[in-house]
Every structure is written in structure tokens, then in C-alpha cells.
Chains A and B, each alone.
Chain A
Amino acid sequence: MGMTITEKILARASGSAKVAPGDVAVVEVDTAVLLDLSFLPEGWRDVLKVHDPSRIAIVFDHLVPAATVQAATCHKTGRAFATKFGIERLHDVGPDQGISHAVIADRAYALPGKVLVNADSHTCAGGAFNCAARGVGGPDMLWAVTTGTAWFRVGETIRYDFTGALRPGVTAKDLFLYIAGTFGAHVNQNVEYGGPGMSGLSINARRTLATMGAELSAEFTIFEPDGALIDYVRARNDRAFEPVWPDADASYRERRTIDLGTLHPLVALPDAVVNQSVPVAEVAGAKIDQAFIGSCANGTLDDLEIAARVVRGRKVARGTRFIVTPGTQAIFRAALRAGYVETLLEAGAVVTPATCGACIGGHMGVLGPDEVCITASTRNFKGRMGDPSARIYMASPATVAASALAGKIAGAEEVFA
């Protein structure tokens, strides 16, 4: 019996001919990405040696620019660590900074066929690049930077084959909400995306879908490689890599086919991501206080483009806050050059610097008691974006932008008609 993409990468990285569900694989880590949160004094320790400074990147993202003394202290510790061990890839406050998963995408740090770890649950974002990228804990990161290794339990794989193409106005977020609403969580399982419709999804769309794999509670979320992906990576990273396709006789727990052309915009109801998806019409009219587009899942240039298209020449409803956070400062500059930022600002949006910010209830858009928000980000858990009594709906950037204009949940169909 053959192996799935995840199994093949874990086997290669562990020096084994084969791994199978149930195994614990100890693998060589190609890239380890540390965050500002990694340097919290209670979790970070004085590192005596690192395995290989060239395999480490540091990205400040959770509270950037520092919103608190604690955040500033983490940044200071991170800078000192980079200096001490000669770590060149330091994405500090400035032009190269961003949300780690978006920086990893901008720079193609997640290489096809390799293993990447990062102390944030949405690290599976790197799966868009055919990379076995997994969010791990802070202690795992200390282990990875000092030993160059990590352990993984090998899970079974669910394979999704896409056919057809998304209709205008239907985004990768809607595709994710369809999967999360139909199939629920994938605990202890890997998710593999491919099929004839996959190449019709832009790299940014794949990033959204891969990032949201964390919300499926999947172990690894990974895409098949294609020509567009290989070109994207080669244009951004000089290092050698070897993409991985699944074996023809790979063993899957289940194969599911999704016709992308049949999908519609969806909204996840508050307090949980999976098994919560309903058509926009079902909740249309619910009043909102805030609309947010951002995070590692929806801070791509595609997301800012579609938001700008929806609000062009119109105004955000009075009494509604519309906050947009690009994934990286590089994306921010690209959106500025393309005119998206001006369009958003003219409509009444607030465009913030790149940070996890509002998505983690950290800063730049925290919710107060009983407020209602519709968000295109990663999570709508109870208390996620601020006060536990706030209610958070989750939808695509198009639906969120249309809702910001209406001051209540609304679809964007007319823009794409």
C-alpha cells in the first residue's frame, strides 16, 4: 500500500522508507519559526545552543507594534536571541514584518516536501505550499531550535478532490465553511487537497483553505503541488526542494469529491467554527457593531481586493466599525499600489498595520460586552475577540465587506451579479 503526501514527507524527513498511521515519527525540521509569543518569559528559556541558525526564522506578529510592555519585552528578548546566534531571518517591526504564516508565504519559507514548525496553531497555512507544516507548542519550538527535530504522531488522511470552479463572489472561505459545516472536525487526521479543480484556486485561496485546517483540528493540512505553486516558490526561495505527490495506491481513511461550482456564500454562527455553517440569507439582517477582515487566513492581497471591490464608491454604515488588517506589511504596500487601501479608507474602513491584532482579541479591534461582529479571520470562539459576551459570526471577506456597508449581515451577490 502506498503513502499519502503527509506520510511521504514524514517518512523522508525521518529517514524511513515508510510511515503509517499509528507511528510516532521523529523528523528533521527544515524550518522553525519563532514568534513574539515564543519569547514570553514564562515559556522561553536561556538557550545554550541552536542546531542551525539558518533553519530558524523569527517573526513578531501577535501584538505588533508592541501594544503592551509585555509584548515589547518579548520583542526585546527575540532580538537579543537573533543577535546571539546570528539568526538572519528576523522579521521585526518594519517593512518585512507581518503575521508569521503570511510572511512564510510571502518569502516561500515553507518549501514543498519539507517540514516546518511554528508555535502557532495556524502553521498548517504552509500546507498550501505542499509543506508538512504543523503548529506546535512553545516547548516544542525550544526542542526544534536546539535539536533540529520534532516528533509527530502519524494520523490517517482524508482526501478531498475538487472539481469545477468557484463562481464569482464565492471564495475559499466559503469552500472552507462548506467543508467545516458538512464534515465537521478532523481530529487526529490529516487533510489532503487535490483534484482537477485544485489548480483553479489561486495560491492565496489555497492559503486561506490550508490555514483554516487548524479549525478542522487536523494534524496536517496539505495541498498537492502544481506548476503554479512550483513557479511561486522558485521565484521567492533559492533553496532546493522536491515536491511530493501522493502514491497512486495511497491509503486514505476516506475520499470526498466537492464540485466547487455548486457552492454558495456561507456564514458560521457564533461560538464555534465547525458544524455551524448556514447560508447568508439565514442570518441576513442581524445588526453588527464591527466588521473585520484580516488574520493569517484572510489578510491576503486577494482578500483586500475583493473587499475593495465590494465597498468601492460606497460608505460603511454609520455606527459600524470596519477594520481591515493586511497579513504583512508587504501585502499592505501591494494593496496601496493597487489602490485597494485608498478605496477601503474612502469607504470608511480603518486599515491597520499587519498583526494578529483583532483576531486574537489582542488590540486594534477588541470587542466589548454584548457587541456583535462579523469576521473574515480564523476563529469565532466565545471570547475570542474580546469580551466573552460578544457574538462573532464568520464569513468571507466579500460577505464581511457587504455587511459593513449595510450595518447588518448582508450578502455581496449584487456586486458579482
Chain B
Amino acid sequence: MTGARVWCFGDNINTDLILPGPYLYRSPEEQARAVFQANRPGWVDQVRPGDAIIGGFNFGMGSSRPAARSLRLCGVGFVLAETINGLFFRNSVNYGLLACECPGVAAAFTEGDTADLSLEAWTLHNGRSGQVLAVTPVPGQLLAIMQDGGIYPLMEARGLIAPRAVG
């Protein structure tokens, strides 16, 4: 993942901001259109596939709602934050959104920078400043689910749930 455009969101971004309560019973596509409408209206029209979100402390705090799915549907390529909320991390694994912790990331990036993430070296490179940060590795068994499209395909393969009807 190289050359990702960076969006900076600061500390304590909660899942009510990512997936507003009034949209809980709407379709995933409608939910994805409401991302950050309270704190950053218009962002959903600016974000492009593969872009990166840089967060601060406790990214994704709050409700268990599938906010990670909304970010994935917006096209977000990966989320890197100082710390990631435990429940948001679970949903990131389950919905196949790449989300990792990276100490120092909030100060190292400014909006508009580009980011290169290596999961082999567990590093994040700032294309503007040249700075390289260490990314905290995600345990292998969880990373595998995260990278393979989440937990639904796994449950289908094991015969636990029926495949979703196509068409």
C-alpha cells in the first residue's frame, strides 16, 4: 500500500461520528454516505479508494455498530492511529478493514501527506517528510482474517452460515 492520501482525524473519534445513530437501520451504502457528517460534512465526497485515515488516541471508541464496514465502503484503504479502540478493532478484523496502532503517527502526518504501509516490515513511511514509523504488529491469526475480507467468508467456508444469495 503505497502513496495513500492521508486524512487526519485526531483523538477520540467515536463510532457515532462514523455511523450516526439515525442510520443504524439503513443499508450499508446509506450508512457509508453519512460517515463524519456531524464533524466533517462533505468528506464522503472527497475520499477516494485506497486513502488512509490517520487517527489519534482511542480511534473508534463507543458503540459496537459496524462503523468499520462504513469506512471500508467509503474506500478507506487503512486506518492507523496512536491507539485503536478494542471493539472497533474487533469489527475491523471482522469486516476486513486494515486498522493498526502506530505510536507517534498523529504528530508525524499532516493532512494531504502520502503514506506507504508495509505489513512485511511493519513500518509506515511518510512520502512528504521521509519519516519512517514502527507499526505495532497485529497477531497473525487476526491479520489473516482482516486481510482475507473479514470473518463472513470464513464462516461460509466452515458451513456455519449460508453463502449470501448472489444477484
Contact = CB atoms under 8 A, between A and B. Distances in A.
Interface of A: 24, 37, 40, 42-43, 45-49, 62-63, 68, 70-71, 74, 119-121, 135-140, 142-143, 146-147, 151, 153, 155, 185, 187-188, 214, 217, 219, 272, 274, 360-362, 379, 381-386, 388
A386 B164 CA distance: 33
B151 A379 contact: no
Interface stretch (B43-51, B90-98, B103-111, B114-122): B90-98
A101 to B, nearest CB: 12
A185 B94 contact: no
B85 A71 contact: no
Given A142-B151, A153-B139, 6 more contacts: A74-B25, A153-B89, A155-B86, A185-B58, A188-B86, A219-B86
Nearest to B12: A272
Contact of B87 (A42, A137, A381, A388): A137
List the 5 closest A-B pairs by CB distance, nearest first.
A388-B38, A139-B94, A70-B25, A46-B162, A146-B160
A45 B152 contact: yes
Interface string B147-166: 00011100100011110100
A384 B23 CA distance: 11
Contacts of A48: 159-162
A399 to B, nearest CB: 23
Contacts of B83: 187-188
Contact of A388 (B26, B37, B89, B94): B37
Interface string B52-74: 00000110011111101000000
Contacts of B12: 185, 272, 274
A146 B20 contact: no
Given A137-B90, A140-B94, A361 B21 contact: yes
Contacts of B58: 185, 187, 217
A71 B25 contact: yes
B155 A146 contact: yes
Contacts of A37: 24, 65
B17 interface: yes
A385 B22 CA distance: 9
A119 B90 CA distance: 11
A383 B85 contact: no
Given A46-B161, A48-B159, A139-B151, A120 B86 contact: no
Nearest to B140: A24
21 contacts: A48-B159, A48-B161, A74-B25, A121-B62, A121-B63, A135-B87, A136-B90, A137-B68, A138-B64, A138-B94, A142-B151, A142-B155, A142-B161, A151-B142, A153-B89, A187-B85, A360-B21, A361-B22, A383-B21, A385-B21, A388-B20
A364 B86 CA distance: 30
Nearest to B89: A153
B56 to A, nearest CB: 11
Given A24-B142, A146-B155, A382 B21 contact: no
Interface residues of B, number: 46
B90 A140 contact: yes
A121 B27 contact: no
Contacts of A153: 86, 89, 139
**Which has the most chain B C-beta neighbours within 10 Å: A217, A360, A379?**
A217
Contacts of B94: 137-140
**Which has the most chain A C-beta neighbours within 10 Å: B25, B38, B63, B89?**
B25
B2 interface: no
Contacts of A214: 62
Contacts of A49: 159-160
Interface in B100-143: 139, 141-142
A360 B155 contact: no
Contact of B16 (A42, A217, A274, A382): A382
Nearest to A22: B139
Contacts of A188: 83, 86
A277 to B, nearest CB: 15
Contacts of A382: 16-17, 38-39
B75 interface: no
B61 A45 contact: no
A233 B161 CA distance: 34
Contacts of A151: 141-142
Contacts of A140: 90, 94, 151
Contacts of A143: 151, 155, 160
A24 B141 contact: yes
A367 to B, nearest CB: 11
A71 B24 CA distance: 10
A137 B69 CA distance: 11
Given A185-B58, A217-B86, A379-B16, A68 B160 contact: no
A147 to B, nearest CB: 7
